[in-house]
Structures are given as structure tokens and as C-alpha cells.
Structure 1
């Protein structure tokens, strides 16, 4: 996509007043040195359209199912389902913007939807992108805190705190993209294009500032939180000595690995291309390859909208029970009993894939001031309304 946190090479002073082409070509010559690289743009456009379409179809179905299953009962005490629900809403927002990027790629980055949609579509994408990453970090932190804190006062406050954190994440994610979006404009030269258009005199400064803020806020700050707290959670689970502890540790490692694999190539390419020319000098062939494959890397980063529902929801027997229960809820009454029996059978026979930590047999807080409650790993029964207070990792 032409302006989605990507390097743009079309600075201007005003929407209706494009720089003279001598000045613009001089800018291009200092950022894209001449070298011969055989790259097929038509093949790339077709491949991107197919991948975007696949991500859109699969991600739309997955995230709608996650929202449907988690919306009912999201206020359950002691559950991390609130973060999972909000993360699915953010991922769905990203998915809903994909048709625009598919058409833009097919039309060789020609923008046909007007000036307002040029800014709004990019703002909508940015806000949901930051929200998805922030909710993932919040989920990692809160999972560990709920596992280690056993006080009754913490348990009473945690759901209210989660609601406040979720509201704060949405507000923060709505504010962060504003400095970049104000410089995204529709330029109608030969063909209308939606581009990042900071003033020419300060264009390099703005581009570097936007790229650094995107990488710092969207990757460098969340990554340590996600990695450290998932490692601490895995260490805690291994110390508990549960039979399924190794499987849970592998799942926690997958959470971190998927985040790194999806986002590291994108932010690395973004920084290299933004710094190229004015601040660092890349080899000619490397620069050409990065510019050519930047859209492919950008598209690849959106795979988290497909993988997140699987890791944090579909691998969980409790989620599958909630999903089946939600489906049964909308079936005719004559089929309700049969559906509930199937839900109970599926949940009882499923292999545990997600992390469910319950505090079993806990006496009143006054009777246990000097030790943590024991840890018990089990599949949550369906329907979930009868489940004890638990920490659901997916």
C-alpha cells in the first residue's frame, strides 16, 4: 500500500501544487540510484492480490467467530477474554481495510476513492494496527500478573482495571497515527495517488520521525513486554510441575515467535528504506529489492490477523466449547439439547492446547497469607458459565 507506514517518494508543498518535475527527479536520483534489476511488477501485483484476498477471507471468518464466541460472557470474572475480544475487534478492523489495498495494488497504486477516504482508510488501518499490538502486550502482562497475584483485593479489582486498560488502549491508538495521517494527501498528477506528503524542506525529518515512532511504538516497546512476560509465565508453569507444562511453554514460545516473524521484516524494511539516501547508503541492488518487495513484506505482516485467532482461541478447548454453545444458541429449540450434548462431549474429549490456570481448593484469604495457591491445568467445561475463576491464555 502506498502510504501505510511506508516510505513515500513524492513530497509536495500543497495538494494542488506539485513540485516542478526537475526538483522532484533530483530528489528521486538521490534516493534511487540507477542499477539494472530484473523484477516483474505484474507478477507481484497478481501475487499480492491473491494473498490479500486469502488473508481477507480467512481472517474475516476467524475474527468474526472469535468475536461471536467471546462477546457473550466477556464480563466473566477472572477471565482474560476481554483482551482477546478487543484484539479480535482490532484485527477485524485491519481485515476490513484489505479490499482497498487489494484494489490499489491491482490498479498500480491509483487511488479512485477521493480525498477523505485517502486519509480515513489509512487512519483506520493505523489505529487498529496499534490496538492489536497493544492488546497483545496487555494480554501477556496480565496473564502473568493474574498467575502470580493471589490476593483477594487484586482479584476484585482486576476486571475493572482491565476495562480501564482496554479503553486507554483504544484512545492511545486513536491518537498515535494523527501526526502521520495529517500528511497523507491525495495527489492528482498523472494519476491520483494517496501518498505521504510532508513539506519538501522537512520531508526527510518527517519521514524519519514517522518511521521511528512506528517502529518504537509498534514493535520495540511491545516486543520486550510480550517476550519477557511470556518467558516468566513459562518459567512459572515449569516450576509448577504440571504434566502439560512443556506443551504450554511451547505455546507461549509460539506467541512470541509469531509476533517477531510477522513484524520484524516489516519494521526493518521500513527503517532501511526511510533512512536510505539522506542518512545511510544502501547498495543499489539492495535498495531496489527492498523497494520492490516492501509491499510483499507489508502484506506478510498482516498474517497476524489470521494466526492470532488460531493461537489465542481455536487451540483452546474452552473457546471451542463457547463457540459451539454460541452456535447452538441460534439453532431451533428442538436442536438445542442435541447441540449441548455435542458441546459437552467435545470439551471433555479434547486435548488441552491452551493455558488454563485455576486456583483450586483455595481457602479464604485470611487462612493463606504466607503461600501462593496451587496451580491446576485442566480443560474448561462447557458451557463456560459453570467454570471457576480462571486465567485463560487464549
Structure 2
């Protein structure tokens, strides 16, 4: 038996079960679509497709507007700071760029849903849009895993090599992540093409004889690379970071534990339902047999689950940037430049007060450095020297007398 799975955003056909020997009589995609339409299971569940399309349109639109603003602000603020040496700023910046790439693909999925999955932009855009989405999706997940690992290593490591070469290592890791993420989607994207002439649809179309094998291979690789490998790294190293900070007796340890729970919970909510449905749809009809009503519900809600998986692009800027007092201070500094002078002075004072608060090392570790770090790499915050208003000194008296004579001698 063969069945069409869902692999990422896009249309998903109903639970169609087709005997393998039927393929011998199929010569083109039109005949295949005809076969799909005439071999549907008799099991039917009353589900409102119009309501689902409206809900998806609203969700895509909301995520696009909010995610676009958030990630552009994160990129702008961190890019302005790129001249300074940041600890984990490079991973945060690259993750925001990847999240922005996913956000920029949302209008296409939004229009596709509105047009009932009719693809009007040609065969090249069918492949490129899916490639662009998947490459940025993998990049965002990998940068999040790298951020979790790097944060703990920076705190706990006393290796001289790491102390002197950590920035070079980060740049190399970022380059490897982008290259690796650009290669992973290729086996799937090469099999994306338009199906149908009157109302074309952008579908995954592997060869008939090996379709089930291709679909299952792509689904398993997506789950392994996009979840099973990065998720343990994110959990383990975030927990290790929280425990290390707790052992150091940091007073804000309770806040670190709450943030770690938030990091893990958001990742689970976004990606666990996505990968469960992806595997079930890929296995259905070839390796497992589900009840027809369950299959109907599975195919109906798969598009909604795909949409919810993109919420990570909206949640990441909040968790890893906007919760940081340091980031909010730098954001306010950036806004101050575009305000009138009176408002700019008030904003600068507020920004200075906000920046003086040490930011939690769990988020971006910008406010402090590990105690083991080399003195040359530390950036301590020193209090500004101040003198009382009535303070006087011999030097001040001399300067005052000279100034008085100069004014008296001038006409």
C-alpha cells in the first residue's frame, strides 16, 4: 500500500490507500489524482474546512506581524553591537536571522491556505520556498542547541584554549550550521513539484515504486535531525547551567530554573506534535494501520500543527532577548537616537538605569563573565567617580583664580 504523507507546510490529501499493483496502470499525475479521488475510504468525519482555513489565515497573519517586528528588532540591536566582543551574542544574532527567514515564508503559506492549496507561483518557487523554509527552520533549531551548549561551556570551562579561542570557535560553528542546514533539505526539495494543470498543487512527488521508502526516509531524517538530536542537548546543557549557577550561590538561581523550564517547554510544545503527526502520516498504510476516523482527524489537524510549530520564531526573541534587561537597555538606546532631544535625555537616563542591572546569564550572559575567565577578557562595570558639591582642592582654587583673572582682564 502507498499513502501520501505531509512533509512541512503545504497541502495534505485525505487518507488515501492505494494498492501497489495499481501503479502499473498509471502513466501521469492526472491519472494518479483521479485514482486518489476514487479510492477514498468510506469512513467520513464531518469537519469544516472553511473554518480551518480562516483560523490558519489569522494565525499565519498574527505570527507574521509579531515575528517580523520582534526579529527585526533583535537583529538591529545585536547588529549595532557587533563591533564589540559579545559572549553568546553571535548565536542569538544568527538564530534571529534564521527565525526571520521562517517568518518571511509565512505569507506564501497564508495565501496557499486561502486559495485552498492552489499554487500559482510556478515550479521553481514551489521548490525554492520549501527549501528556504526548511533551511531556516533547521538553522534556528541548531543555533538554539549551540547556544545551550556554549553557555554551559563558557561558564564551567577553565581550558586556556577555550578562553583564548572561543570567538573563533563560535564563528566556525555558525558557518558549519548554515552549510549543514542548507544541505539537509535537498533530498526532499528535489522531489517537490507541481501536480495538476487547472489547480496546480505543490507536492512531494517521489517515484511511484519507491514513494513509501522516500517518504519514510525523509520523515525519519527530519525527526532525528530536527528533534531527537538537538532536544537532549538543549535539555541537558540548560539543566547543567542552572545547577552550576545554583552551586555558585547566585541569588537569582530560582529565576534561572524558571527560565530553563520555559526554554524546554516552548521547544516541546512547538515540535513534539509536529514530529508525532509527521511520523504517523508517513507510516500510515505502509507500516501501521490506523482507524479511518483517526486518520481523517490526523490529516485535518496536521496543517494546524504545522502552523503551531512556527511559533518558535515568535517565542525565541522573547525568551532569549526581550526578557534581558541588558537587551532592553540597548533597545532603548537605539530608540533614543530617533527621539527629540528632551525625550532622548529622559530615555538615556532610563536606559542607563536599566543597563546597570546585571542580566541573567541564562539568557545571553551579557552582564557578567565566569570567574575563571582571563582578566584580559573581563569587562567589569565600575561605578562612576563622583565628588560632593562643596568639594575643593588647591588645584581647583588655582583654576578658579586663573579663570577670574581672565574674565577681569577681558574687555
**TM-score, L = length of structure 1:** 0.84
Contact in 1 for aligned 2:127/2:193 (Cα 8 Å): yes
Match of 1:143 among 125, 146, 151: 151
Partner of 2:332: 324
SS of the aligned residue for 1:201 comes to coil
Partner of 2:407: none
Whole-angstrom CA distance in 1 between matches of 2:275 and 2:56: 19
Match of 2:246 among 238, 241, 258: 238
Match of 1:4 among 4, 8, 15: 8
Contact in 1 for aligned 2:63/2:311 (Cα 8 Å): yes
Whole-angstrom CA distance in 2 between matches of 1:105 and 1:256: 30
Partner of 2:395: none
Flag the structure with larger Rg. Answer: 2
Whole-angstrom CA distance in 2 between matches of 1:201 and 1:33: 22
Match of 2:314 among 295, 302, 306: 306
Match of 1:20 among 24, 28, 31: 31
Q: State which drifts further: 246-255 or 305-314.
A: 246-255
Match of 1:90 among 79, 85, 98: 98
Cα drift, residue 151 of structure 1: 3.8
For the structure 1 residues 75 and 226, does the alpha-carbon distance in structure 2 shift closer, same or farther, using more than 3 Å as the test? farther
Partner of 1:114: 122
> Any idea what the Cα deviations from partners look like across 1:37-69, whole Å, max 9, x if unmatched?
110000000000001000000000000010011
Cα drift, residue 190 of structure 1: 3.8
Partner of 2:280: 272
Cα drift, residue 284 of structure 1: 1.1
Matched, 1:358 2:362: no
Q: State which drifts further: 148-157 or 330-339.
A: 330-339
Cα drift, residue 243 of structure 1: 1.1
Whole-angstrom CA distance in 1 between matches of 2:368 and 2:158: 11
Contact in 2 for aligned 1:316/1:353 (Cα 8 Å): no
Cα drift, residue 72 of structure 1: 1.7
Contact in 1 for aligned 2:241/2:362 (Cα 8 Å): no
Q: State which drifts further: 322-331 or 85-94.
A: 322-331
Partner of 1:47: 55
Whole-angstrom CA distance in 2 between matches of 1:132 and 1:39: 34
Cα drift, residue 281 of structure 1: 0.6
For the structure 1 residues 225 and 21, does the alpha-carbon distance in structure 2 shift closer, same or farther, using more than 3 Å as the test? closer
Cα drift, residue 254 of structure 1: 1.1
Contact in 2 for aligned 1:70/1:85 (Cα 8 Å): yes
Matched, 1:292 2:300: yes
Match of 2:266 among 251, 258, 264: 258
For the structure 1 residues 205 and 343, does the alpha-carbon distance in structure 2 shift closer, same or farther, using more than 3 Å as the test? same
Cα drift, residue 203 of structure 1: 0.5
Whole-angstrom CA distance in 1 between matches of 2:285 and 2:145: 34
Cα RMSD, aligned residues only: 3.0
Partner of 1:387: none
Partner of 1:129: 137
Within a 5 Å distance, the mapping from 1:337-376 to structure 2 comes to 337-348=345-356, 355=363, 356=365, 358-359=368-369
Kindly tell me the number of residue pairs found equivalent between the two proteins.
364
Whole-angstrom CA distance in 2 between matches of 1:364 and 1:199: 58
For the structure 1 residues 22 and 95, does the alpha-carbon distance in structure 2 shift closer, same or farther, using more than 3 Å as the test? closer
> Any idea what the Cα deviations from partners look like across 1:67-108, whole Å, max 9, x if unmatched?
011112235435101000000000000000000000100110
For the structure 1 residues 330 and 202, does the alpha-carbon distance in structure 2 shift closer, same or farther, using more than 3 Å as the test? same
Contact in 1 for aligned 2:75/2:97 (Cα 8 Å): yes
Cα drift, residue 2 of structure 1: 7.0
Partner of 2:197: 189
> Any idea what the Cα deviations from partners look like across 1:126-170, whole Å, max 9, x if unmatched?
000000000000000000000101344312200110001001100
Cα drift, residue 33 of structure 1: 3.3
**TM-score, L = length of structure 2:** 0.81
Q: State which drifts further: 77-86 or 40-49.
A: 77-86
Match of 1:224 among 226, 232, 241: 232
